[in-house]
Structures are given as C-alpha cells and as structure tokens.
Structure 1
C-alpha cells in the first residue's frame, strides 16, 4: 500500500531503497546502466511509496490540455440502448475533468461532418489532439492522418493503420465465448449479428474461428442477420428464424453480437412460449448492466468499457510526446472476459 503518496519525493525513494538520490534518478530516467538488483529495489520502493503513480499523473496532466471529441449523435443521450458508448464516454469525461483537460465535443453525423470540417474545427479550437468514437470512415481517418494532428480512434478500426486506435479484442473474445459454448456441449449455434462496422464483423470471425479450432463443421455455425442492434430488431430476427424453420431449427444456442440483440431475442422467445435456457441458451456481447437484471440473467462477453477511453488518452499522450520521432500507428486491443450467468444450459 502506498504511504504518504502526496508528499513523497525522490529522497524518500532513495532512503527506502538504500541508494543515493542520483541512483534513483538514473533508474527512473534511464540515464545510466544500473544493476538489475538495484533497479528492482528502486522501482519497488518508488511503487510502494506511490511515487511512480504521482510521477505518471503529473506527466499526463502536463501533456494534454485540450481535445476534440468527435462522436456520433446517438452516443450522447443516456438511454438503455446506448449503454456501451455512454459508459465509455462517461468514464472518459470524468478522467478529463480530473485532469482539467478541456473537451470540445463535435457531432460527426447530424449533419455529417466531413474530414476537412473536422480538421478545421480542431485547428480553430487549438486542441492538442483528436479522439474519435466509432467513426472510422477511411476518408476521414486519412485526412486526419495527413493533418499531423495527434489522434486516436476508439472502438473502431483504421484499415490503413494511419492513426492510433484502441478497441476491444472482438475476434478473440467472440472465439473464447463460442469455445465456451462448445465446451458446454453446444454444436448447433446461431450467431445473430447485423451489417455493422468492421468491429462487429470481427465478432462473426471469432465465432467461426472457434468452430474451425474445434474441428467442427461450419454447416452448424449459422449466421443470421438482424436489421440493426436494437432489441426490437433482435426480436424480429429470431421470429423470422423460427417462422422459417417452424421452430428453432435444431439450434441449441444463440450467440448475439450485442446484448441489445440478446435481450430482444429473449423477450420474443418468451412471448412465443419458449423457455431459456431449457429450450435455448443465449449469450450476449458488451456486458451492459441490463443483462444482469433480466430473467434468466444474461451470460455475456464483458467489454472493459472503463478502460477504452483511458487507454485512448494514454495513446494520445504518447503520440504527442513522441511526435518528432513519427512512430508507426499503434492498434491496441483490450482483453474481454466472459461473465457466466444463468442463460446457458449445459448439454450432456
């Protein structure tokens, strides 16, 4: 546990590590070769005293003064259908407030803002960098990259790898969840998705990866499309499947590309007399709060929403600090976890 982190200084670290102040300085700044044993002792002492955390925080505050936050309009109001984006942005805004970072919001889709307008607004506001949420139009990303303004894309993919990005590990997480369903005895699984951006397609890719990894035929890895991600669209899609097959069509589980879809599926099937997980197991993706309170509670892939914005700020800091070196773009994927609840039945 950190002791007196607010008052600790380099002399305290030196005393705790039993080394000179100059040695601590060399270790922390990498300005001289230091033995592994001494280096470890200094870093352990600095961490225990809270000095490392304080030093990082000071550096972060000094680097970023203002950002342009470019977001789609539907991510701003707080509703039960946009909890993914709203939670991400809420955490980001709290961190910016804590660091006294000025945030200039810009809606990019109502009306549609083109690349030149976005770059012009960033220059007019004299921001240190740009954060974009979900907005991965290739032309937009290309012009931002050419502008030289540091930028990070959140929850999106830059196919050309021109700017930094941070996103959930969608493909790996979907593969993990599908592997788990297979380990529970499920072989005929429906993936309910929609024609979304590449981040959503990665979830489909991971679903299929799991079948291949387990040596299973892709003929029982069904892909079914909803019109979008809203619950009523999931309800309509599963009813379309049931009508076409005059029942469940042999599937024992549905892996939904979003919790919203899963909630719609559960509502529709329950209204039509099906019982979950007895008749059908359901898994979602996102880990939004609503899944915890439905019956049965929803098993889901939980995305680290509280860390996406923080990671984006860190990437932006690094881009600003190292601008002269022009480092290649970074693509950061964050690990997700499977939250097992009561919507899945084990098949014998």
Structure 2
C-alpha cells in the first residue's frame, strides 16, 4: 500500500497525534522530543524523530518556519553576473539556484546591480530598507568599505563566494583552500611533480586556491620551486589562452612541467586551447585540471578533469544564515563562515605523470 505524501496522511496534514500513534509513545513525549523541553531516552527520541521525518512532519515544520521568517531579500550583485553568457557560468548557476529557492519559499528577491555609486554600502542599505528587505545577500563582494558599511547598518547580511576578514558578516564559500590542496595532492599521486598553477590576481577566494596548491607541495615534501605560478589577466578563457602562450614562449616550451592546475574552469578552457594551438596533446604531452565543475568542461576534447563546487547549494545556505540571524534574537550573534565541501571529477584531461610511469 502506497504511503501518503510527505506532510499529509489520508488527505490531511500530519500532526503530533499521528506521530504519537505510529511511534507508540504519548503525545507529551512527542512534544518534548520535538521541542527539546525534557530529557528523553536516546532510543525513544530516535524513534520519534524517525517517524516524524518519515511522515513529512519535520520538513513541513521547517518549511513553514522559513517562509514566515523571511519575506524579502535584497540581492546585491556585480552587473556582469546578471545576464547569462558564456563566461559567468559560476555566478549564473548560483543565482539560478537562489532564485528557485526563493520562489519555492515565497521569498521576494530584489536584484540590485552594483555599478557606479550604487556599489556603495549606503546605496545598498537604503535600497534594502526602502524595499522592506529583512536581509541582504552579496554575491562576489569582499570590498572592505562595502562590508564595513553594511555591518554598521545592522541589517542581516550574507556574502556568497566572498570573505569578510573582519568576521562581522556571515559568508558562504566553497572550501577553496582545502579543495585546491585535494586536487593538487591527487595530481601528485598521479605522478606529477612539477605542476603549473594558472591563476589570476583576483579576490581572496582565488588566493585561497593558490594557498591550497602550495600546501599540497609542502605536505608531500616536494620542493617549493616545483609549484610554478602563472598569472593571467583575468578568468576568461581568452586570458588563459594568452597566458599559456606567453609562458610557453618565455620558457621555450613546457620544460619539465607535466600538468597545469587552473584556478577556474574558464581559465582551463583557454589553457587547453592555447596548448593545442601550440601543438601539444592533452593529456599525452601535458595534463590539465580545472576548478568549479561548470558544464562546458564536460564537452571539451578531452573532457576536463576538475573540482566540482556545490554551486547550487550556496544560495540556499546563505538564506539559511540570514534566517538564523533574523530568528535568533541574539543582537551580538557571532558571524558564521560556512565552507562547502568540494569533490574531484575525474575525466580524460589528466594522464599519469613521469613518477607514476
């Protein structure tokens, strides 16, 4: 016999009486477990929570709470992230998932492009207040002046893909340093010893990836000079292609570099094109690895090995941080810096290095 849909039983919403009956405990016991108002044995507590989760009561209760906590959020974003194009896959994926989550929860999202005078904290705060927003989400923002002004205004705010070094605003980022170390360590275990890190002089989140790249060499006891750095002008594919071309010319070819680890998939796409134009085969002559896990990497030839970032989870996580701050009732609640775990996606652009052969 099919179970009733989550949150419902025989056409009606599930209540604590249903949980009590199915878990075979009293209504008061269910209430104590759900509200944490009394000490209940671990076995009984686990049984009540299992039933409440299976019947959909917990999900319904959580969804109801989140809908009532937040009504309107101001989304402050750099203008180049709003239109979908072939270079902002990361930001567009984050924004699309955030928009879907807000629609699901009945939250009104007010986009606010950060350009010119509108990039100031004063303009952002005024827009949030005039729009009746309970909180502010900042995408790809870590300018000190902007963060200072928003923190001083006292409006709950969360940064996506950025950092607040003063630890006053909540933030959600990938675990950039740990993930870059994971990726580089994997390349080293594949037999690569001299690896080029293609990056650009970007924000703190990009610098964390460079830190993780260097960490892996230190932890494997490899010479620091084997961690080679090359800085492109930006993250777009054309800058990656230009940078690798200039590096090859300056070094009269690859030398003893056997792999390139790129700080973004966009860079990797350009690096692959530049290497192939120069006559190098991937991965036979040189291995290439990216970071972000955006869709185009699946369709390169060869398919790009990369670090998958949970981009679709970043927006909902930022909403949750704002909601927790709004509902906590703690004026001086410590800021939370949430780093999301990343994972390797192994495809065909990396071959074993000399040490493995």
Length-normalised TM-score, structure 1: 0.98
Residue in 2 that maps onto 1:15 = 21
Question: For the Cα contact (< 8 Å) 1:136–1:158, is it kept in 2?
Answer: yes
Q: 1:2 to 1:282 in 2, by over 3 A?
A: farther
Residue in 2 that maps onto 1:4 = 5
Matched, 1:80 2:86: yes
Residue from 43, 62, 75 that aligns with 1:56: 62
Question: For the Cα contact (< 8 Å) 2:118–2:124, is it kept in 1?
Answer: no
Inter-partner Cα distance in structure 2 for 1:333 and 1:3? 36
* CA shift for structure 1 position 34: 1.2
Question: For the Cα contact (< 8 Å) 1:166–1:331, is it kept in 2?
Answer: yes
* CA shift for structure 1 position 15: 1.2
Question: For the Cα contact (< 8 Å) 1:189–1:255, is it kept in 2?
Answer: yes
* CA shift for structure 1 position 163: 0.7
SS of the residue corresponding to residue 286 of structure 1 reads coil
Inter-partner Cα distance in structure 1 for 2:67 and 2:136? 16
Matched, 1:230 2:231: no
Inter-partner Cα distance in structure 1 for 2:99 and 2:349? 34
SS of the residue corresponding to residue 344 of structure 1 reads coil
Q: Cα RMSD (Å) of the superposition?
A: 1.2
Deviations 1:188-243 (A, max 9, x none): 00000000000000000000000000000011100110000000100000001100
SS of the residue corresponding to residue 324 of structure 1 reads coil
Question: For the Cα contact (< 8 Å) 2:7–2:59, is it kept in 1?
Answer: no
Inter-partner Cα distance in structure 1 for 2:49 and 2:3? 13
Question: For the Cα contact (< 8 Å) 1:3–1:48, is it kept in 2?
Answer: no
Residue from 53, 58, 65 that aligns with 2:71: 65
Give structure 1 stretches of 5+ with no counterpart: none
Inter-partner Cα distance in structure 2 for 1:99 and 1:153? 20
Residue in 2 that maps onto 1:147 = 153
Inter-partner Cα distance in structure 1 for 2:301 and 2:119? 42
Give structure 2 stretches of 5+ with no counterpart: 9-13
* CA shift for structure 1 position 10: 1.4
Residue from 307, 314, 323 that aligns with 1:308: 314
Residue in 2 that maps onto 1:42 = 48
* CA shift for structure 1 position 6: 3.2
* CA shift for structure 1 position 146: 1.3
Residue in 2 that maps onto 1:208 = 214
Length-normalised TM-score, structure 2: 0.95
Q: How many residues align?
A: 348
